[in-house]
Chains A and B, each alone.
Chain A
């Protein structure tokens, strides 16, 4: 895919009014290319969760500009009316915990997104099975989330994020509860998927184990991002 996966210019977010004003984001600039995995690192209260929520289109930034693929989605205001469809079709989410829907089996957890997008059940399940195969959990396709191990659950969560082939995946501390081996495995998968599906991946983390794996890292502190090169260690 040409152009940018996601590009953020001068994004600002201010909470509250008058005396209680908090500028959570002051100047955020980010660019992530398709197939690239970048890290977003910062201490608590640095504004990384606020940034993630803005990127995930669940809160509205105060100013700035966001471009997804080749479409400007935010320019001092949303340029897209249906944010739900935006989240569903064009952004993949991976959370700290897998947050799978407990009453759906593994396949339907993934197929739910294409179904919500209006794809027929058969095609949606087909897509889900493909993704599960790609993530080496095809053998658990009929299992329920509660029957999976933590690593398997996280892989299913990644598969779900990929279900609608979004141009960008937002991963919020995806390795926090995992030991270093499994954490590295998740990063490995994310890298592989990013390449395989041409997806821009932003991994928000402060996990020391995985920071060395990023080629590029955005540090965020007091609502301002700073780009620097990472070690880019192979995993």
Chain B
């Protein structure tokens, strides 16, 4: 069984850098890449009546958009480079969900870009990379 590494991916610049890093690393080690994208979601947030009504529809749209715009190009890029890759698309708390994905796949490491969110929200709520560094059960590579 080959090694597995999880790449936490979103549409930020540093995520692209993380993708490049993961590509080089996976090639060198012959590892399999699991590209994970987590849509931030809390079941305890407050929604308006219209948001409630449209939620199911929006969820479908969000999933489709993430799949098409985000994950497919990455998957193509990785397979062009001759790397075995799969994708995971989930809703949830980003860092916690990435940890779940690592555990479910018995991955050996995770690669993630440094700044996904804006600087202000990172300052207020802590960044994904920061919380992952604390919570991940495997080595974390944070790519600037």
Bound together: no
Where the two chains meet, the residues of B that have a C-beta atom closer than 8 Å to any C-beta of A are none
Where the two chains meet, the residues of A that have a C-beta atom closer than 8 Å to any C-beta of B are none
